[in-house]
Structure 1
Amino acid sequence: MVDASALASRARNIGRGFAVTAAAGAAAGLATAGYGLWEKNQFVVREESLPIMPPGFGTFRILHLSDIHFVPGQHRKAQWLSSLAELEPDLVVNTGDNLSHAKAVDPLLKALAPLLEFPGVFVPGSNDYYAPTLKNPASYLVGPSKAQKEPVELDWPRLRAYFGMSGWVDLTNRAQSLVLNRLRFDFSGVDDPHLGLERYAGWPRGTKGRDADPHLRVAVIHAPYQRVLDHFTEDGADLLLAGHTHGGQICIPGYGALVSNCDLPTWRAKGLHDWESGGHSTPVNVSGGIGTSRFAPVRIACRPEAVLLTLTPRA
């Protein structure tokens, strides 16, 4: 005969076990979320060195900024951005996604004011044009994020104009040469490939037939889709600079990024790597980014970063 009291006791024990497991899971989830909120403000400068300067020229330092995703009230981020001027770079490269809020332009410009004193170039990302929206984070696991059906426009024209008036060069589907520290830099940039807006302008006119003169070709991109990396690698770029991926944003320690939000392999979602295409090889630096969408304000095992890239002479 079945002992009813024993069955009841067993049921209570099983129930308590489920409750303990659920409570432990909830606690772990809260701890992870709390850590992610903390890590998103642990700003770092990743330093890299690359021997691509022509012989006879000294070192050249590029400060690479990307994916700031500024929101009003982000005082710690603003202070850190301003402090980057203390690095005294020779050039600032901004690879887009500066905004994450309709009222972010003025506080962002205030934060960037010290850096706007240095030479710079820039291209836009999708979150310069349009405000982010609330999404299911799991959707990124099945492929890159999709264009919004009814996007909220941001004041990119004013931000773009201010960058230009401050002396930063707009490389949105354009090319331009700059002489910096006595060396000719040939820049070519594209509009955001994530929105399918890229159009290739080639290298600056007036440099054709002048390859014997010392120069460096630098391509500037927001989203590092393979088609764009292939194009610039095959077209003779000496360096590719991109952002967009947030380094994966939520990574697994010891493994790395789960997503890149484009067709770039996840192991390339952050860092300095060589890209090969058509028999050519070009170094590409993918920034892990500085911010997050304001609807997903966490980072895990992926600290926000600016990149200080020191170019040294070739051997």
Structure 2
Amino acid sequence: MDAWAIEIVILLNVAMAGVDAGVLRHIRRNRSAASWWKAGMGGAGGSLALVVLFGMAPTLLSGRSGVHLNSFFVVQLVSWVLFVHAPVCLLTAAFLLRKNTRKTAALSALGAIGLLGVAVDAFLIEPTWLEVTHIEIASDKIDRPFRVVVVADLQTDRAGRYERRVFETLRDQEADLILFAGDYIQTSCERALPTARAMNQLMKQVGVQAPEGVFAIQGNVDLWRPWLEVFRGLDVSPLQSTQSFDVGPLRLTCLSVADSFRPRLVVERIDPDRFHLVLGHGPNYAMGRIDADLLLAGHTHGGQVQLPLVGPLTTGCAVPPAWAAGMTELPDGGKLYVSRGVGMERGNAPRIRFLCRPELVVIDLVPQ
């Protein structure tokens, strides 16, 4: 996190300690189910007020260099309240109420255990619980089996064991064609170049290659970072502009980052008898007039946090939330697949995934 963000997080936790003390003092004095509910509601209100106050702090401090309002930072603050302070209060309340009202104490303990369970999954398990998603698409435009592997949103701030495992898993898929969908490095300006070079060395060590080629497009977080260094000296074609290629049995169109976010983009089909695949970083372009059999995108991370019956809380794009992860049958007959990505939002965001595992996408195109 940025230095200013760390300062605000510390201040929030100090203020929240005061809220915690007030809640527990009230419960200790009264030791009843009613006091538990009353203190809980008061604590929730106080927590919300503090999150709003400290969430606005970047705007109030906007005159300071590098300080800006970021919704991901608000999620960081909420995470501290929800997964640190709430469990502490609930467990302590359960202890205080264990003799006076066992049902309320049990409910309080279960609430704490539930929140801690979510925290363990979201912070420690899912972020590196890589899934390999297999999709098979049959088409009369394909004359032989052809495997495409999509790697979206590596979006890392270090080249570590997880990144090595991702590249080793990628290599083991024996792809005919590998497509990198943008967003490779997300770290400070000082660390961006060393991190990009470390990723480059890691890819060379693992051996990332494919017989029909490896193509890498630019993502929005790459606009201010040396992303080309990630692929320097590798048998990879990095692209910053919209270009098309004949690759094996298909026609591949790779979009610039700007084009991928244009909801009225027009992409024509050159050869009606050739399978047309379009790769963009953002999925907005799928809302345009895209004459293609398969559209691919990343950027959304699948929302990174999904809730049952709700879906992704945020997607960072213009497409409907239902389009933000997985396969979507488009009205014009084409298919859109949006990858949940490999990495996570970095910077001042919490390193979190919930009900939204990272993924490599393996697409087997087969003759119909």
Sort the TM-score into its range (normalised by shorter chain): 0.7 to 0.9
Write out per-residue CA displacement over residues 69-104 of structure 1, whole angstroms, 9 at most, x where no aligned residue: 122153123223223201100101111111122242
Q: State the 1:272 CA deviation.
A: 1.4
In the superposition, the TM-score normalised over structure 2's length comes to 0.63
- The CA deviation at 1:263 is 1.6
| Percent of residue pairs identical | 23
Provide Cα deviations, 1:17-70, integer angstroms capped at 9, x if missing partner.
647994145654443222101211110101111113525x11111101101112
Q: Is the 8 A contact 1:190 1:220 kept in 2?
A: no
C-alpha distance in structure 2 between counterparts of 1:169 and 1:311, whole Å: 22
Instruction: Point out the structure with the larger strand share.
Output: 1
**Secondary structure at the residue paired with 2:277?**
strand
Is 1:156 equivalent to 2:227 in the alignment? Answer: yes
In 1, Cα distance between equivalents of 2:293 and 2:225: 33
Q: Does 1:229 align with 2:281?
A: no
Aligned residues between the structures: 264
- 1:106 equivalent to 2:197? Answer yes
In the alignment, is the contact (CA less than 8 A) between 2:159 and 2:199 conserved in 1? no
Match of 2:225, SS state, is: coil
- Kindly provide the amino acid, as one letter, of the partner of residue 125 in structure 1: G
Give the letter aligned to residue 30 of structure 2. Answer: A
Sort the Cα spacing of 1:125 and 1:188 in 2 relative to 1 into closer, same or farther, 3 A.
closer
Trace 1:23-102 onto structure 2 (pairs within 5 A). 23=90, 24=108, 28-37=114-123, 38-52=125-139, 54=141, 57-72=143-158, 74-101=160-187, 102=192
Q: Alpha carbon RMSD of aligned pairs, Å?
A: 3.1
Cα distance 1:184–1:302, how it changes in 2: closer, same or farther (>3 A)?
Answer: closer
1:238 to 290, 293, 301: 293
Hey, which of these two has a bigger chunk of helix by percent? 2
- Residue 36 of structure 1 aligns to a residue whose secondary structure is helix
**1:292 is paired with a residue of what secondary structure?**
coil
Which runs of 5 or more residues in structure 1 are unaligned? 1-7, 130-152
Checking the alignment, whether the CA contact within 8 Å between 1:94 and 1:122 is kept in structure 2 is yes
- Higher relative contact order at CA 8 Å, sep ≥6: structure 1 or structure 2? 1
Match for residue 276 of structure 2?
Answer: 217
Q: Per the alignment, in what secondary structure is the counterpart of residue 330 of structure 2?
A: strand
Amino acid at match of 1:35: D
TM-score when scaled to structure 1?
Answer: 0.73
* SS across alignment from 2:356: coil
